[in-house]
A = this chain, B = another copy of it.
Amino acid sequence: MAAIIDGVAEITKKVEEVILGEDGKPLSKGALKKLEKEREKKKKQEERAAKDAAERAARDAASPDYSTDRYGNLPVNQSEERTGRTRTKIASLSEKNIDETVLLSARLQTSRPTGNKKNFIVLRQGTVTAQAVLTVDETKISKQMQKFSCGITSESLVLVEAKVVKALQQVTSCTIQDVELQIEKLHVISAAARLPFSLEDATRPDEDYEKDPALVRVALATRLDHRPIDLRTTTNHAIFRMQHGVCKLFREYLEQHDFVEIHTPKLLGAASEGGANVFKVEYFNETAFLAQSPQFYKQMMITSDFAKVFEIGTVFRAENSQSHRHMTEYVSLDMEMEFEEHYHEVLDVFDGLLVHILKGLKERYTDEIAVIKKQFPFEDFEFLDKSLRLTYPEAVKMLRDAGVEFGDYDDMNTAQERILGKLVKEKYHTDFFMLDKFPLAVRPFYTMPDPARPGYSNSYDFFMRGEEILSGAQRVHNAAMLQKRAEENDPPIDPTTIQPYLDAFKFGAPPHAGGALGMERVLMLFLDLGNIRRTSLFPRDPNRLGP
């Protein structure tokens, strides 16, 4: 009961919050007034319904209840028994099951009583829904049972025994459309308190608000505050199944190409790469630092002759940024490989990898993409079988031809990257491309200079829809050259702080190159979701450490 009261208090609080738009700005006075009216109307309706229900209850209490063994609240499941009785998955139901009696657990998504003899219930398992009907009769389903069913809160978990029957008309509002369930028994496994927002509101596309501005809009911050509820939407189920897909496709390709998976430490004794944006950790009586990337370690693995390595792991950036594409913690898809002659051998592998991921997402996740598009419509991601590879000077020329002022050795800012993405899309019809040969000065000290073009380097970024998703390069594999570049870095890096890394190259090191993909970015840009927090289960930024 305390839980329910908490829930109601919370919902009131939330209503205040959700009248803010996605951008955090309050709605107009007119819209607020309209909202207020709607609320009052609803309240009156509810009061009337409560009065009617009380009267009905008084009447019903007088009549005998012949359904007592058919409904009720189950005790907390502590694994008392294991009957092994088959539970049915809603997704498997079709006309071939007609007349069968099935047992299943599901969420009660909505309950819509008509009169006091019928209750139309939508049951949900994951993203699959079916309609169930409870009908009062003379011998099995009592009025009391009907009343109980109407009182089950939305999102409660229920155990249902039901007969599969042909739907009188196609149930267009559910996933399962040809059959429906005639409820014979109905028990609550786990009751839900009132939600801080409805899943319906949380799944609404933007265009609905254009049609009806009074609809409740759930701000991103509100969703993230109640992430376990927000994650129940069909959209989020689809997004995070595709996140699994990104990792699966990444591994699949690299394993086929003999890469070895590695796990490198996240607690470091020294802040590498100059020490900017590094989180500090109290480590017994010392200070440790959280890894910003597995860079040094994956390179050390190359000096240990593992030849081709990959890692899927969390990395940490103490960057005080609230941008749509930065988080303080994210999943880095890292790879590094030795080559024989030229770092383009590595770029060729990465090209194959990215095409494998993009193709895999497109072909294996058609259902998920369709679900996501309902809430967040987007243009299909375009890519080529053999990816476009531009050099930095070529990109600079494209920008200049389009009227952007740009120096030969300038770093590209986010806005310029976006423009470049649009120009590339127009000219080459691809949302994915590789940009090779970055100016040396804008890359980390361990980047190999291009010997043929002074001021440039053997380094590259990959772009999706005009945003960077991978950064990589041929690395300096010669210890003396590496130390020199560290010392000449701006600001200089004290070689003693990275001694084990430098030392690793003293014992014969093969030429090698690598790169790292941001997992959440790849997914955000493939789906054009506009905010990286939408592709991270529990995102972290300077203002968010919870839930």
- A: residues with CB less than 8 A from B are 2-3, 6-7, 76-85, 87, 105, 107, 125-126, 155-157, 189-193, 195, 226-229, 231-232, 236-237, 240-241, 243-244, 247-248, 251, 255, 260-270, 279-284, 286, 288, 290, 297, 300-301, 303-307, 312-314, 316, 318, 320, 328-329, 331, 340-345, 448-452, 458, 474, 476-481, 500-501, 503-504, 506-511, 519, 536-538, 540, 542, 545-547
Contact = CB atoms under 8 A, between A and B. Distances in A.
A7 B506 contact: yes
Nearest to A340: B87
Closest 8 CB pairs of A and B: A500-B547, A269-B545, A231-B304, A192-B508, A82-B342, A269-B546, A77-B511, A228-B504
A8 to B, nearest CB: 12
A270 B546 CA distance: 8
B260 A240 contact: yes
B267 A316 contact: yes
B508 A156 contact: yes
A342 B85 CA distance: 11
Contact of A341 (B79, B288, B538): B79
B509 A305 contact: no
How many copies of this chain does one complex carry? 2
Contacts of A509: 157, 190
Contacts of A231: 300-301, 304, 306
A193 B260 contact: no
Nearest to A479: B3
Given A265-B329, A537-B297, A105 B340 contact: yes
Contact of A545 (B190, B240, B267, B342): B267
A313 B312 CA distance: 8
6 contacts: A84-B341, A195-B507, A228-B300, A264-B538, A267-B545, A297-B538
A156, A228, A236, A537: which has the most chain B beta carbons within 10 Å? Answer: A228
Given A3-B480, A193-B506, A450-B78, A227 B300 contact: yes
Contacts of A519: 263
Given A79-B474, A189-B510, A248-B261, A304 B232 contact: yes
A546 B267 CA distance: 9
Given A83-B341, A157-B510, A267-B545, A261 B247 contact: yes
A477 B190 contact: yes
Contacts of A542: 284
A508 B260 contact: no
Contacts of A540: 265, 267
B82 A537 contact: no
A280 B282 contact: yes
A80 B263 CA distance: 33
